[in-house]
Amino acid sequence: MALNTDKAGTTYPPYTYEVSREKIHEYASALGESDPRYFSAGDDCVAPPTFAAAFTVTKGGRAAFADPELGAHWTLVHGSQSYAFGERPVRPGDVLTCTPRIADISVRGRNELMTMEVDCRFADDDTRAVLSRAVIVFLGSAPAADAGGDGSAPAADAGGDGSAPAADEEGAA
């Protein structure tokens, strides 16, 4: 099943996430972090830079995957993740308003790539906390580009007769 490329640019309803000291500690522990700011009980506690992954990949992606018009399926891999940060760090007690958006859908061979952005802003002043961008690769979902249309890969055929390429003098193909 192919993704509906008309859904590129779609923005889904925002959701809120309240940052807790406990979740910051759990996330930092899972990463094996040792920076004392991530484990502080005081006002100097901050979230690790990649903390947004804990709530943008799952919550942000959930809206897109629930959209029946998108055509998303679960034969996928996480291609990449990047972040753009605001002026101040994320701290316990911050409330973030996060807005998921499908930034792009493209085809590469038999795979489709969907770029999902989640723009998280501080609820108290609407400044950016973090913009999380993930590229999700949907495996084998693009329509076949071969002449037969059966989804099989084109044969590696050097001579046009279906045989394998001839080996050179060194024995390498």
Residue 164 parent element (H or E): none
Residue 32 lies inside a defined structural domain of this protein: no
**For residues 93-105, average pLDDT:** 97
DSSP string, 22-85: HHHHHHHHHHT---GGGT-SSTT----GGGGHHHHHHHHHHHHHT-TTT---S-EEEEEEEEEE
**15 located within any domain:** yes
Mean pLDDT score across all residues of the chain: 84
Q: CATH no. for residue 55? A: 3.10.129.10
- 168 in any annotated domain: no
Upper half-sphere CA count for residue 29 (Cβ side, 13 Å): 8
Domain assignment present for residue 163? The answer is no
Say if pTM beats, i.e. exceeds, 0.95: no
pLDDT in tens, 100-150: 999 999 999 999 999 999 999 999 999 999 999 999 999 887 776 543 444
Domain count, the chain: 1
The answer to the question of residue 108 being in a domain is yes
Q: How far is CA 26 from the centre of its chain?
A: 22
| 150 lies in some domain | no
Cα separation, 48 vs 162, in Å, equals 55
Range of the domain at 70: 5-20+51-138
In this structure, is residue 120 part of a structural domain? yes
